[in-house]
Chains A and B, each alone.
Chain A
Amino acid sequence: MTLSGQGLSVQGLSVQGLGKSFNGRTVLEGVDFSVAAGELVAFLGANGSGKSTTLRCVMGIASPDSGSISIDGAALETLQGRDLQQARQRMAMIFQKIHLVPRRTALDNVCAGALARIPTVRSLSPLLFPADVQQEALDCLDRVGLADRAFDRVGRLSGGQQQRVAVARALCQRADVVLADEPVSALDPRAAEQVMALLRELAHSEGLAVAAVLHQPDLALRYADRSIGLLQGSMTFNLPSTEVTADHLDTLYAPDRDVSDRDVSVRTPSADRTTAA
Chain B
Amino acid sequence: MTPRTLTPAAARRETTSTPRVALVRPKKPLRWITTAAVAAAVVGLHAVAIEGTDFKPELLVDGWKGMAAFIGDAFPPDLSWEKTLKPGLEATLVTLWIGLLGTTLSVPFALLLAALAAENTSPHRLVYQAARAILSFFRAVPDIVFALIFVTAVGLGPFAGVLALICHNTGVMGKLWAESMEEIDAGPQEALRTAGANRIQQVANATLPMVVPQFVGLLLYRFDVNVRSSLVLGLVGAGGIGLLINQSIKSFQFDSMLTHILIVLVLIIVVDQFSAWIRRRLAA
Contacts and interface: CB of A to CB of B under 8 A. Distances in A.
B93 interface: no
A89 B195 contact: yes
A173 B24 CA distance: 57
Contact of B196 (A85, A97, A102): A85
Interface string B32-67: 000000000000000000000000000000000000
B195 A104 contact: no
Contacts of A266: 21
A104 B194 CA distance: 19
Interface string B241-263: 00000000000000000000000
B152 interface: no
A116 B24 contact: no
A272 B19 CA distance: 12
Given A103-B210, A266-B21, A120 B200 contact: yes
Contacts, number: 89
Contacts of B187: 95, 97-99
Interface in B165-182: none
B204 A99 contact: no
B79 interface: no
A134 to B, nearest CB: 14
A39 to B, nearest CB: 21
Contact of B26 (A85, A88, A112, A268): A268
B209 A103 contact: yes
Interface string A209-231: 00000000000000000000000
B16 interface: no
B212 A103 contact: yes
A80 to B, nearest CB: 16
A115 B197 contact: yes
Nearest to B200: A120
A98 B187 CA distance: 8
Nearest to A270: B24
Contacts of A23: none
A16 interface: no
A104 B24 CA distance: 52
Given A267-B21, A274-B22, A274-B24, A112 B206 contact: yes
Interface-centre pick from A88, A97, A101 (highest chain B CB count, 10 A) = A101
Nearest to B19: A275
Nearest to A268: B26
Given A120-B198, A173-B196, A99 B190 contact: yes
B250 to A, nearest CB: 52
Contacts of B200: 120, 123-124
Contacts of A19: none
Nearest to B26: A268
A42 B100 CA distance: 57
Contacts of A123: 197, 200-201, 204-205
Nearest to B204: A124
A169 B46 CA distance: 60
Interface string B17-33: 00001111011000000
Contacts of B24: 267-268, 270-271, 274
Most interface-central of B187, B196, B209 (chain A CB within 10 A): B196
Contact of A112 (B185, B195, B210): B195
A125 interface: yes
A59 interface: yes
A162 B188 CA distance: 13
Contacts of A45: none
A93 interface: yes
A173 B22 contact: no
Interface in A108-138: 108, 112-113, 115-116, 118, 120, 123-126
B24 to A, nearest CB: 4
A116 B206 contact: no
A81 B205 CA distance: 24
B26 A270 contact: yes
Nearest to B197: A115
A116 B195 CA distance: 7
Contacts of A95: 187, 191
Interface string B206-219: 10011011000000
B107 interface: no
Contact of A61 (B27, B185, B190): B190
Nearest to A108: B205
Given A101-B188, A123-B201, A274-B24, 8 more contacts: A91-B194, A95-B187, A101-B210, A113-B195, A115-B198, A116-B197, A270-B24, A275-B22
Interface of B: 21-24, 26-27, 185, 187-188, 190-192, 194-198, 200-201, 204-206, 209-210, 212-213
23 contacts: A60-B194, A97-B187, A99-B190, A100-B188, A100-B191, A101-B205, A101-B209, A108-B205, A112-B192, A112-B206, A113-B195, A116-B197, A120-B200, A120-B201, A123-B205, A169-B191, A173-B195, A173-B196, A267-B21, A267-B22, A267-B24, A268-B24, A274-B22
Interface of A: 59-61, 85, 88-89, 91-93, 95, 97-104, 108, 112-113, 115-116, 118, 120, 123-126, 166, 169-170, 173, 266-268, 270-272, 274-275
